[in-house]
Chains A and B, each alone.
Chain A
Amino acid sequence: MKRALVCLLLVSCVPSKRREVDAPSDLGSGEILLVGRIKVTPPIAKDEQRLPGIAEDWRGQVMLFIGETAEPLPRPFKGWDYKNRIEAPPDREFSVAVPASSFSIRGAAVPLKLDEPPTDEAVLPGGFRVEVRPGDRAIYIGTIHYHRDEFWQITKVEVEDDYDRVRADCARRWGASDALRKAVVDVPVKKK
Chain B
Amino acid sequence: MARLLPAILALVLSAGSTLFTTGCGGGLSQQMENQKDPETSLIVGHIDMKDGPCWLHWFSMKQVMPKVEKPYYNFRIDEGTFYAEYIPLGSFQLSEFGGAGSWPSNTLYTFRFPQQLEGLRLEKPGIYYIGSFKMTDEGNFFKSKYDIELAKTPSEREALEKILPHAKGTDWEERLRRRLEELK
Contacts and interface: CB of A to CB of B under 8 A. Distances in A.
Contacts of A75: 8
B165 to A, nearest CB: 34
Contacts of B64: 150-151
A152 B65 contact: no
Nearest to A123: B116
Interface string B59-76: 000001101000000000
A99 interface: no
A45 B66 CA distance: 13
Given A47-B67, A151-B91, A151-B93, A76 B8 contact: yes
A153 B64 CA distance: 13
A118 B65 contact: no
A47 B66 CA distance: 13
Given A47-B67, A118-B112, A120-B112, A151 B8 contact: no
Contact of B10 (A47, A76, A152, A153): A76
Contacts of B119: 150-151
A112 interface: yes
Q: Chain A contact residues (Cβ within 8 angstroms of B): what range?
A: 10 to 19
A157 interface: no
B118 interface: yes
A151 B63 CA distance: 11
B115 A113 contact: yes
B12 interface: yes
Contact of B115 (A76, A117, A118, A120): A120
B150 interface: no
Interface string A24-39: 0000000000000000
B112 A150 contact: no
B114 interface: yes
A113 B113 CA distance: 12
Contact of B118 (A45, A47, A118, A151): A151
A48 interface: yes
B98 to A, nearest CB: 13
B61 to A, nearest CB: 12
B151 interface: no
Interface in B111-140: 112, 114-119
Interface string A152-166: 110000000000000
A152 B8 contact: no
A122 interface: yes
Contacts of A151: 2, 64, 91, 93, 115-119
Nearest to B14: A3
Interface string A122-153: 11000000000000000000000000001111
Which of B64, B93, B116, B119 has the most C-beta atoms of chain A within 10 angstroms of its own C-beta? B116
Contacts of A118: 10-12, 112
Interface of A: 45, 47-48, 75-76, 112-113, 117-118, 120-123, 150-153
Sort A-B residue pairs by CB-CB distance and give the 8 closest, nearest first. Answer: A152-B116, A118-B10, A122-B116, A151-B119, A150-B65, A150-B64, A150-B91, A112-B115
Interface of B: 2, 8, 10-12, 64-65, 67, 91, 93, 112, 114-119
24 contacts: A45-B67, A47-B67, A48-B115, A75-B8, A76-B10, A76-B114, A112-B116, A113-B115, A118-B10, A118-B12, A118-B112, A120-B10, A120-B114, A120-B115, A120-B116, A122-B116, A123-B116, A150-B64, A150-B65, A150-B119, A151-B115, A151-B119, A152-B116, A152-B117
